Structure 1
Amino acid sequence: MTEKIDNEAPTGDDVSDASAKANGSERGRDSTEASQLSLKDIIEQISCLNTELTASWVTFKEDLRREMRDDFAQFTMQMEQQLASTSLKLQEHDQKLDEAAARIDEQENWLAVANEALQQLLMEHKTLQEKLNDLESRSRRTNVRIYGVPEGALAPKPNSAAPPRSIVVNFLQYRVKETIIRNAWKKKIKIGDNTLSFDYDYT
């Protein structure tokens, strides 16, 4: 048996089909390579974007931390200033209260001393008044008051419409005064038409 070898030359259609297949195969490889390159670019872009986002996030956190630290430092400084001002005002108020309390204590002490001195003066005044009354009473023991003496008889008449004034006679001895007043009570003594009356000096 002999093999049949086809030595026929390829036709134009066969060449066209082969060329089309070759071109299709090349386009497939180009498309695959393009797809692979595009995916790689996307991954690289995503990686770059991730890096940029990470850097931006780190920068944002650092900026935020710095701003918060600055704000907190400023707030702390303001609070310290306010506390210092408040503490100074409280010290001034405490000093004023201490001064006021000291003045009140001084006034209370002065009032206590003044009250004690006033009580002492009142007691001394009462004692002196009693002594004065006693002296006046003792001095009046030797006095005799005479009523009914006409105005102008012993002194110039001050006023015609005024009633006659009494006359006080002072004796050197109490016994003489008592003798005279008792004798005067026993009989009537007149000056003109006026009857005189004698009495103790009670005023």
Structure 2
Amino acid sequence: MPSTGDEEENLPLVWQKIEQSIIRSIDVRFNEFGDKLDNLIAGQQILEERIGGVENKAVNHEQRIKVMETSLEELRQQNKTLRSKLSDLEGRSRRNNLKIVGIPEGEEKGRPTDFVSHLIPKLFGAEHFDKPLAVDMAHRSLQPKPPDGSKPRTIIAKIHSLQDKEKIIRLGRQRTVEYGGRRIFIFPDYTAEVMEQRRSFKEIQQTLREKNIQHSLRFPARLHVHHQGQVKAFSSPAEAKNFVEKEL
């Protein structure tokens, strides 16, 4: 058995080895921690760069969206203006048109323009027309020809003179007209938009008729009211109604 003295002499050496082992272990752990910390810092920097890039893109997208919204609003306004002009042009191109409803298919015998120019004086009386009625063109509506016995297609005719066209409309409102024993209807050929605008004045026109006040609905939808030697023009039913309630 070794002596106690030898053990005491070897004890500092043992503690030294333990100390060195602990120090090496700590160094390894610190090195590992340092590596992980470096990796974390590097990852943080990459993340910050990516976030910065995303923020820059977001700012860029916001600017582009604002530009697109401004452009879209401009396009909306341009579209609104163009639609208004298109509607006006279409309405004016139809201004002299008539729609004749109820004429049996084939009566025009392939010459619709000549047919309409002779039809109108026959329906209303030649005494209302001091010269032959000039018709620029006429045709059936563009639907397929219906089977025999079905409702005939409408005839659309462009009257050369606006004055003659208005006269025909006026005569059509004053009397019932027939062709071959069948009732015939004649209407202006307005666009759907113009028709809607004109229908909006229906109530106020009824009021004016009940009050026996002279008035007229001018193209496309402008109400003229004769009052105390003057003519008042209204572009909206609300304006006309307000005038009638206050002044008439």
**What TM-score does the superposition give when structure 2 sets the normalisation length?**
0.54
Q: Distance in 1 between matches of 2:9 and 2:149?
A: 127
Could you say which residue in structure 2 is the equivalent of 1:196? 184
Q: Distance in 2 between matches of 1:103 and 1:50?
A: 78
Deviation at 1:111, TM superposition (A): 2.3
Could you say which residue in structure 2 is the equivalent of 1:15? none
Could you say which residue in structure 2 is the equivalent of 1:182? 170
Superposed, 1:1-203 pairs within 5 Å as: 52-154=6-108, 157-185=145-173, 189-203=177-191
Q: Retained in 2: the 8 A contact 1:147–1:198?
A: yes
* Greater Rg over alpha carbons, structure: 1
Q: Retained in 1: the 8 A contact 2:95–2:189?
A: yes
Higher helix fraction (1 or 2): 1
Deviation at 1:149, TM superposition (A): 1.0
Q: Distance in 2 between matches of 1:155 and 1:119?
A: 53
Higher strand fraction (1 or 2): 2
| Residues paired across the two proteins, number | 156
Q: Distance in 2 between matches of 1:145 and 1:110?
A: 51
Deviation at 1:141, TM superposition (A): 2.1
Q: Retained in 1: the 8 A contact 2:95–2:190?
A: no
Counterpart of 1:177 in 2: which secondary structure?
A: helix
Q: Distance in 1 between matches of 2:22 and 2:149?
A: 108
Q: Retained in 1: the 8 A contact 2:97–2:156?
A: yes
Segments of 5+ residues of structure 1 without an aligned counterpart are 1-48
Identity of aligned residues (%): 25
Q: Retained in 2: the 8 A contact 1:150–1:194?
A: no
Q: Distance in 2 between matches of 1:162 and 1:132?
A: 34
Relative distance call for 1:83 and 1:161 in structure 2 (3 A) is farther
